[in-house]
């Protein structure tokens, strides 16, 4: 989704340490960097984006630590129907930007966003090895076996459809993209990733394909998920969450 909530948020210009300006801004609230940690649960951030033409950080100072602004952001979350709307706090000073205010999500709100599908469900699947044949892909001629970890990323699109991607993360010391080329489209590599998914107990283990070359990275191979596999992994994200002990 583009944003979680949108509306006015005001500064009081008195309670914060970095600005004395009283002003009302229009902000868009966007969850960011939310992931499932196997020990700590769901963690992440909430970005309150604003128009830098409405608030010039260099002139007005940071909104960071302004109590009224934080309250108004909570009210926007409440109006968006979130139960744990109070579970945010300002993050570090160094995390603030020229067009956003950064908040840490508490575990309850982070988990609520994760469960409701408002944010990407990102979690580790399995580690193993995968080989390139160096002939079928068109981007590399290197035959090599490298270690990879599979990470699932799924979310609900604005059209209420589950979509997602699969990352095969590798060590750039084992495969240096600038020298070896992209793994993208290599048939043997795809088959090995398929076998890893099958080994992990995934039912729709063949329902994925390489993404376009522009989406490939120096540390992972990017795959698009088909509808069936995207839904299966989206549901599996909840199963992984339930395994984490509550503190």
Give the CA angle between residues 100, 104, 107 to the nearest 5°.
145
Q: Position of tokens 């596999």?
A: 229
Residue 1's pLDDT is: 47
Domain limits of the chain?
5-116, 121-242
Residue 121's pLDDT is: 72
Q: Position of tokens 């160096």?
A: 134
What pTM was computed for the model?
0.62
pLDDT digits (tens, 9 = 90+) for 51-108: 999 999 999 999 999 999 999 999 999 999 999 999 999 999 998 999 999 999 988 9
Residue 40's pLDDT is: 67
Mean pLDDT of 221-235: 93
Dist CA 208 CA 223 (whole Å): 6
Angstrom CA distances, 163 to 5, 195, 196, stand at 21, 22, 21
| Position 37 pLDDT exceeds 50 | yes
Dist CA 193 CA 176 (whole Å): 19
Dist CA 29 CA 36 (whole Å): 20
Dist CA 135 CA 140 (whole Å): 7
- The dihedral of CA 229, 231, 236, 237: what is its sign? positive
Residue with the larger pLDDT of the pair 122 and 68: 68
Dist CA 84 CA 128 (whole Å): 38
Mean pLDDT of 213-231: 94
Which band of pLDDT confidence, cut at 50, 70 and 90, is reported for residue 235?
confident
CATH domain 5-116 topology: Alpha-Beta Plaits (3.30.70)
Contact 100, 151 (CB under 8 A): no
Dist CA 81 CA 222 (whole Å): 34
């Amino acid at each position: 989704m583009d944003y979680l909530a949108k509306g006015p948020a005001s500064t009081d210009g008195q309670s914060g340490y970095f600005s004395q300006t009283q002003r009302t801004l229009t902000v868009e609230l966007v969850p960011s960097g939310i992931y499932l940690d196997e020990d700590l649960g769901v963690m992440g951030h909430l970005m309150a984006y604003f128009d830098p033409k409405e608030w010039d950080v260099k002139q007005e100072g940071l909104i960071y630590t302004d109590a009224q602004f934080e309250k108004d952001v909570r009210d926007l979350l409440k109006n968006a129907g979130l139960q744990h709307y109070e579970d945010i706090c300002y993050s570090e000073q160094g995390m603030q930007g020229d067009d956003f205010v950064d908040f840490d999500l508490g575990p309850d709100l982070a988990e609520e966003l994760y469960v409701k599908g408002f944010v990407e469900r990102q979690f580790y699947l399995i580690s193993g090895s995968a080989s390139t044949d160096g002939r079928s892909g068109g981007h590399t001629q290197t035959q090599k076996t490298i270690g990879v970890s599979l990470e699932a990323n799924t979310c609900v699109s604005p059209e209420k459809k589950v979509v997602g991607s699969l990352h095969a993360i590798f060590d750039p010391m084992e495969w240096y993209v600038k020298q070896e080329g992209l793994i993208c489209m290599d048939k043997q590599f795809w088959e090995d990733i398929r076998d890893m998914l099958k080994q992990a107990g995934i039912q729709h283990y063949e329902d994925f394909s390489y993404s376009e070359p522009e989406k490939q990275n120096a540390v992972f191979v990017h795959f698009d998920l088909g509808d069936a596999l995207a839904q299966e992994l989206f549901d599996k994200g909840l199963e992984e969450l339930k395994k984490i002990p509550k503190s």
